[in-house]
């Protein structure tokens, strides 16, 4: 889940021009051309899917409340920079991270 959130964050930051080669703290894989934007987005979806599969199993063992935590984590991880939310770009990113912790 965390890897998916990091990849989708790098993808949208790169697309919006937030991540540039000279920007401090940006993911370098996209800005230096080591990873294409399309591949970063696809890998993020695969990471989210990889978290979903064991999440379903654990929810079957522990109940549907467990799955709601995973769903909230996915929405928060994607919604931090992903469309249509992009909470980070609305100055709500820190609030979202606080709520998810």
Element containing residue 10 per DSSP (H, E): helix 2-15
Rounded Cα gap, residues 48 and 6, in angstroms:
11
The ranges assigned to domains in the chain are: 2-100
pLDDT in tens, 14-24: 998 888 777 66
Q: For position 99, what pLDDT does the model report?
A: 85
Q: For position 24, what pLDDT does the model report?
A: 66
pLDDT in tens, 1-53: 989 999 999 999 999 888 877 766 666 788 888 899 999 999 999 999 999 98
Count, residues in the chain: 101
């Amino acid at each position: 889940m965390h890897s998916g959130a990091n990849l989708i964050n790098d993808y949208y930051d790169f697309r919006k021009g937030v991540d540039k080669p000279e920007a401090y703290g940006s993911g370098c894989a996209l800005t230096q051309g080591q990873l294409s934007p399309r591949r970063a987005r696809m890998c993020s979806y695969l990471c989210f899917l990889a978290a979903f599969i064991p999440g379903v199993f654990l929810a079957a063992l522990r109940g549907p409340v467990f799955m709601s935590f995973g769903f909230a984590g996915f929405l928060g991880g994607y919604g931090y920079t992903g469309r249509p939310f992009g909470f980070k770009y609305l100055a709500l990113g820190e609030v979202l991270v606080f709520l998810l912790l």
